[in-house]
Amino acid sequence: MIRIKFWPLVIKQVVRHRVRTLLTVAGVGIAMYLFVAIQAMQKGVAEATQASAADTTLVVYREDRFCPFTSRLPEYYLPKIKAIDGVESAVPIRVVVNNCRASLDVVTFRGVPRDQFADTIGRDVEVQDGSLDAWKKRSDAALLGETLAARRGLKTGDQFDAAGITAYVAGILASDHAQDQNVAYVHLDFLQQQTDKKLGTVTQFNVKVDDPSKLDAVSAEIDALFASAEQPTTTRSEKAFVAQVAGDMIELIGFTRYLGWGCLVAVLALVGNAIVLSVQDRIKEHAILQTLGYPSSLIGRLIVTEAVVLGTVGGLVGAGAALLTIRLTRMSFSVDGLSIPIDAGPLLLATGLLLSVALGVFAGLVPAIQAARRPIVTCFRAI
């Protein structure tokens, strides 16, 4: 946009009014911080709810129930589900949460039969610390999702209490699946005894189908099989299930999108305001530059570059700080035992930066055009 030899001029302008620059950069930083945080929440919702062609997991839940406290299915449904054509595997899961309500620090226990873990859920997760053998050996052992472990500061060998259950951390697991990152996997019988004082009742069945195209057919067949049973079922894809159960929270997070747009407008206003003020202060200077032979288009470009510098520095500070906060706090929204992670990666940082640059250009355009069009004589008279 401008040649390298003019960059010192731009930097000098930015540094000359330190207070103004600091205030603008801080303001842009705050706005971009909020924007990136909001985008991270939106990304979490998309990851947890948007189905992809490769999805093969179905969740069998009690019909018309959305809360793990009220979905109670007999464990003996398992062989009938497994016998359905297209079902690759099925695992009964008992879900216990410290509270069904939505918040940011909810602990979700998932009880899974110890012999079935490795062949079902274990295929999608990687035990990073500790071992699966250690988990199998101990009845109160738990494998913690890395988000939960990081948030609660737990490591292998620790004991922790939540939802009235005391468990031993046998390992920490990593997974790309949103629902595996914020849970504690324990033995099914252990969880049943701790909560129901009896065996035989589970919250849901997670069913893997052998072909993604069979999802609808298999779910319809499962529901038809138990339509007149003691506990009828509703079977949905895992992501559709999350979308329905966490609907309130998703709606609320969706609403913050407007706040995100508001943040971008704030960036525009802050940079625009700073540049307008800066240009007003320098009318005489622009006249001198024009007298020295600087073309008006170059003056305009110098102003736009100044706006871009302010936007970029502010964007870098804000987006970087947001990324750091999200990575350090490892927060995730939880509702009814389901997680919506707040997750930000380098792509979001790059998006934030690009938007800051674009907004800088946009914010600087009007004052730049005005300054470029102002004749030298008018500039001198304006003093």
Partner 1 sequence: MRLLPFEYAVRNLGRSPLRLGISVLGSLLVVVLATSAYAFVRGMDRSLARSGSPNNVILLGAGSEESIERSEISSSVASHALASIPGIQTWSGQANVSPEIHAALGVSLEKSSEPIGQAVFRGVTSAAYSVHPQVRIIEGRTPSTGADELIVGQLASTRLGIASDLIAVGQTLWIDGRPFTIVGQFAAPNTVMNAELWIPLTSIQTLTRREGVSCVVLTLDEAEFADVDLFVKSRVDLELAAISETEYYEQLSAFYQPVKMMVWITAILIGAGGLLGGLNTMYAAFASRVREVGTLQSLGYPRRAIVINFLQESLLAAAAGAVIGSLICLLLLDGISIRFSMGAFGLMLDAPTIGFGIAAGLVLGFVGSIPPALRCLRLPIAEALKAN
Interacting residues toward partner 1 by CB under 8 A: 19-20, 23-24, 26-27, 30-31, 33-34, 63-67, 69-70, 72, 96-105, 163-165, 194-195, 230-231, 247-249, 251-252, 259, 262, 266, 269-270, 273-274, 277, 280-281, 331, 335, 383
At residue 363, what are phi and psi to the nearest 5 degrees? -70, -30
Residue 334 identity (one-letter amino acid): S
Unique residue bearing structure tokens 């490769």? 54
**Residue 9 or 67 having the CB closest to partner 1:** 67
Instruction: State the CB neighbour count (10 A cutoff) for residue 55.
Output: 15
**What is the C-alpha separation between 335 and 248, in angstroms, rounded?**
9
Helices within the chain (DSSP H only): 7-16, 18-49, 77-82, 132-137, 146-152, 188-195, 215-225, 238-245, 247-281, 283-291, 296-329, 346-373, 376-381
**Residue 52 or 228 having the CB closest to partner 1:** 228
Smallest gap from Cβ 16 to partner 1, in A, equals: 13
Smallest gap from Cβ 36 to partner 1, in A, equals: 12
**Residue 36 or 178 having the CB closest to partner 1:** 36
**What is the C-alpha separation between 299 and 372, in angstroms, rounded?**
6
**Residue 42 or 99 having the CB closest to partner 1:** 99
Smallest gap from Cβ 5 to partner 1, in A, equals: 29
**Residue 34 or 308 having the CB closest to partner 1:** 34
Smallest gap from Cβ 134 to partner 1, in A, equals: 25
Smallest gap from Cβ 323 to partner 1, in A, equals: 16
Smallest gap from Cβ 186 to partner 1, in A, equals: 15
Angle 218-219-221 from CA coordinates, rounded to 5°:
65
CA distances from 150 to 146, 188, 336 (A): 6, 24, 21
**Residue 132 or 183 having the CB closest to partner 1:** 183
**Residue 53 or 383 having the CB closest to partner 1:** 383
Identify the CA nearest to 317 among candidates 9, 34, 19, 2: 34
Smallest gap from Cβ 240 to partner 1, in A, equals: 12
H or E stretch at 175: strand 165-175
